[in-house]
Amino acid sequence: MSNLPNISEILRNIFAALISQFEDFVPRVLGCLIILIIGYLVAKAVKIIIQQILSKIGFDRIGDRLNEIGIIKQLKTEISLSDIVAKIFYYYLLLIFLTLAAEKLGVDTITNMVLSLVNFIPKLIAGAILLQIGIMLSDAIKTAVTALCKSFNIASAKLIGNIAFVFFLIITFITALKQIGMETAMLESSFLLVIGGVVIAFGIGYGIASRDVLANIISSFYSKKNYREGQLIKIDNVKGVITKIDNTSVTIVNDTTTTIVPLQLFQTRQVEIFN
């Protein structure tokens, strides 16, 4: 019987150990709460200051330019860059103070998790900036391609411009994902396969459908130098004065009619020029 453990003594030791741990843990919890409260107040103040400064210097003008892009309008949302930047700094400061609070608490798992988030924020910011620049650049390319196609009287100029926009936007999106550290090799391979098939199919289909337009464009390089506005010419049974020459056709006006002749006919028909 003398070898039996003293139950009351064991319970006292356990209780004393719990009290000791509790006395050590409570100050750490209080310190953690104080750090979090200070962090919240600092982050809130910094957010307000940054938002006011960026608004006053006209930083939102870039956001206004983004809001004019078609894809942003379709999302029915408005971008305020000063608000976005201010919120990024707000959450970044919160994460920094959360890291300090986790270290004060002494929980390594929470500390490591928050540190990972803090290290991820700069990559996320860089990716967001890259995506923003990519959207603006894609929209500029879309506008340029659409204007170029319209100048050559190419059908579906708007469709071609939208295809160019989506193409460069996807490239920008993949690059932004790579910037924030995501694996994009499979996505890039799939995109190249899909875009390659679409381009080939579109090229063949559009080439067949627009062969006359392309023929006129090619003919313009050879025919336009021989003719000028104000000349009196005769082609087939049409005689009149050239009033307009564009990339695909020539407009001939006489006393009774106005005739638009495709430029490719100037390569295959006899044309008389009167002095």
Strands 271-274 and 238-245: unpaired
Give phi and psi for 161, each to the nearest 5: -60, -40
- For 42-87, the pLDDT digits (tens) are 989 998 998 888 878 877 676 666 666 666 666 666 667 778 788 8
Rounded (10°) CA dihedral 121, 122, 123, 128: 90
Alpha-carbon distance of 81 to 66, in angstroms, equals 10
- For 111-148, the pLDDT digits (tens) are 777 777 777 777 877 777 787 778 888 888 888 888 88
Two domains, one topology: 126-209 and 227-274: no
Query: What is the pTM (predicted TM-score) of this model?
Result: 0.52
Q: What is the DSSP string of 107-146?
A: -HHHHHHHHHHHHHHHHHHHHHHHHHHHHHHHHHHHHHHH
Q: Is the pLDDT of residue 41 over 90?
A: yes
Structure tokens at 260: 């638009």
- For 213-251, the pLDDT digits (tens) are 555 555 555 566 677 888 898 888 888 998 888 777 889
Q: What is the largest CA-CA distance in the chain?
A: 137
Any idea where the domains of the chain sit in the sequence? 9-106, 126-209, 227-274
- For 87-107, the pLDDT digits (tens) are 888 888 888 888 888 777 776
Q: Is CATH 1.20.200.10 correct for 227-274?
A: no
Q: Which CATH number does the domain 126-209 belong to among 1.10.287, 3.30.980, 2.60.40, 1.10.10?
A: 1.10.287
